[in-house]
Amino acid sequence: MHHETVTIALPKWTENFLSTQDKTFLDIEQRMSLALELAKLNIEHKTGGPFAAAIFEQQTGKLISVGVNLVTSTNCSIAHAEIVAIAIAQKKLETFDLYADNTPRQLVTTTEPCAMCLGAIPWSGIRSVVCGAKDEDARQIGFDEGAKPKDWIDQLKNRNIEVTRNIKRQQAIEILRSYVNHGGKIYNPKKNG
């Protein structure tokens, strides 16, 4: 019997990039700068969409994992940056619950989470989410972010997950626009009807 497998791995270029980076990022602007640079490089290397994410120990700023959008390069619709970063962090820490050791971990994402990634956040154990561009910024260039509750931030807060928005939003928007301007594929666009 043949068993199918799916492997989602970060592109090789991320190794070189990460080897030159400081592994501790003290403030959320530094953390977002790392994610934004990953998104920019993901476009330049044509390895996926204009989105990136990283997971840090919230208090110390220690980098745990990164993720870039790999939807088009892997032909896998769930290979969003946040999902990739969460999966790698869980594998690295050998736990499905990133809060199992009572160490709060923070997800920094270049654009607010889509409906799928929003659903994954509470189950992952993440305690804090930091966002760059807004949902409407991604929708404006043509991406379908899915059906999200209008009160998604309050819903996360009710689960003790803190949300911080608009960190380096303008730079994040510029990366989204750069993707479109360089012919990036708008996969899964919003369809009428």
Report CA Rg, the chain.
16
Torsion angle of C-alpha atoms 104, 29, 122, 73, degrees rounded to 10: -120
Question: Would you call 15 a catalytic residue per the annotation?
Answer: no
> If you search the block for the tokens 């993707």, which residue do you land on?
179
Distance CA 55, CA 174 (A): 22
Torsion angle of C-alpha atoms 52, 71, 145, 62, degrees rounded to 10: -20
132 close to 35: Cβ distance less than 8 angstroms: yes
Catalytic residue among 82, 94, 112, 174: 82
Distance CA 99, CA 177 (A): 35
47 close to 13: Cβ distance less than 8 angstroms: yes
The values of phi and psi at residue 71, to 5°, are -55, -55
Number of H-type helices and E-type strands within the chain: 8, 5
Which residue numbers are catalytic? 82
